[in-house]
Amino acid sequence: MNSKKVNNRIIAHLDLDAFFAAVEERDHPWLQGKPLVVGADPNGGCGRGVVSTASYAARAYGIRSAMPISKAWQLSEAARRAGKEPATFLLGNHHRYAEVSGAVMEIVRHRVSNIGATEQSGIDEIYCDLSFTESFENAEVFVRKIKNEIREREFLTISAGIGPNKLIAKIASERQKPDGLTLVRPEQVQDFLDPLPARVIPGIGPKTDGALAKNGVKTIRDLRAFSREKLIERFGKWGSDLYKKARGEDDSPVEESDEIKSVGEQETFETDTLELAFVCERLNALCSDVFRRFLRDGFKTFRTIALTVRFADFQTQSRAHSLKTPARTESVLRFEALKSLLPFFDKRENPQSKKLRLIGVRVEKLSKTFDGRSKF
């Protein structure tokens, strides 16, 4: 990609608002406007999973995505005691969410793909290269048409950010949720970024945010005061990326990839356990779910099987095994996953006999073609 094209790009990032909860509200009118939490079973405050999505009404209680479901339950109970409506908790229907996501993304691609590139970055997010519109004003008009079409056809709202690159577009899409549109022209980038918390930069998680705070960094302006060398010294290669992102620099192109790198499922147990029969039964169920998704997504073979185990103390270990030839049956998946699991029940992988909190299974190196070499 030449520098002229990079320097003149117009990129949009579209992000569906509280997507899982919004689909539930749309499909079930009695849920509309209610504090709604989609995720694990709260089990009366003793649930073991996390929140997938919280509606905006639930967010008013302090409930957020990735929060432990037990904490979400506590916040809901606090709201109830204060005379407010308690949250409704749903396990969710991920097949339905994937179906609705596909319909929304098709609307976006239909408008963009013949003249510009798109890149779906999650079930509810997509980037669009709108450089063909030739001006930020034209791009704004174009995006508003997409937003209106999604609202009219799918009855969902989507927030948008428009900027000179993917980084700025993504940060901008978060600024006016729900149903917002934030436009940042190239000359506005630094003024836009400087007052924002450093944690809005994609890739800065709680650990990095805490390390930055210890160095007096609260805002992107604070981060920009550090030299590239200082950031590399503190954060390694990631420090160089931080230096560029604090200045709004991002040359990554918008590129759609049809490749799904893996298909996986995981389960958090209600109670930590070392009961072999129970864990094996749950492993088989996970393998069935993974294989069903593997087939649904049009794949014919897999080459690698990966197992994840999380202990009661939250230590997490993963083991992956690649086959000499591709496999295409559920029985192979179950057999290889079980082989990886069994060492966690003895001294090979679990010398302290720690109980298990979570297991997960995943297939990788997927192919949508079958050349007959597979023996399984």
Q: Which residues are catalytic?
A: 125
The Cα–Cα gap between 85 and 69 comes to 18
Which one-letter amino acid corresponds to residue 364? E
Segments of 245-376 assigned E as strands: 262-273, 302-311, 316-327, 356-364
Contact 254, 119 (CB under 8 A): yes
d(CA 318, CA 142): 45
CB atoms within 10 A of CB 219: 17
**CB 127 within 8 Å of CB 257:** no
Token output for 120: 């779906």
Rounded Cα distance between 40 and 367, Å, is 31
According to DSSP, residue 87 is labeled: P
Greatest pairwise CA separation for the chain in angstroms? 65
Helix ranges restricted to H, the chain: 3-7, 19-27, 56-59, 69-81, 94-112, 136-154, 166-173, 189-193, 206-214, 220-224, 228-235, 237-245, 276-296, 330-341
- Backbone φ/ψ region at 92: left (φ over 0), alpha (ψ -120 to 50), beta: left
- Residue 367's SS3 state is strand
